[in-house]
Amino acid sequence: MALRRWLVRGFWWLDAVLGGDAEPGRSQIFAARHPVKTGVRVGAAMGALFAVLGVLSPGAWSWGEVGIPCAVIVFFGVFMTGVGFWERRRQRHYGFYEEARRTELGG
């Protein structure tokens, strides 16, 4: 258990040294407030990009060309949702998340 605590402290120390304790920007605040919405939007945008690239390629209407954008949507959506939840955890650790919530409520 001591090793785990030591690793966690080391991670947060390294994060602070690399600038992780700086006040978050607007996009980081949005990602922390709405991680699922962020994941859906990024997944849809990347899926649309891959769909357009698939349509422009020869043999565009095969099942492989439909499956790849769907897989990209799922992968990027899940990945960015995880990033949003991690950003929320990071902001809460440094005390920024509650401040952002009070600002959003007008208090």
* Residue 107 scores a pLDDT above 60: no
Helix (H) or strand (E) holding 50: helix 35-56
Q: Residue 98 is encoded by which pair of tokens? A: 């509650």
The DSSP 8-state label assigned to residue 96 in this structure reads -
Domain boundaries, the chain: 33-107
End-to-end CA distance of the chain: 40
Is pLDDT of 4 > 90?
A: yes
Q: Residues 39-79: pLDDT tens digits? A: 999 999 988 888 787 777 766 566 666 777 788 889 999 99
How far, CA to CA in Å, does 106 sit from each of 39, 75, 101, 102, 103?
A: 26, 35, 9, 6, 5
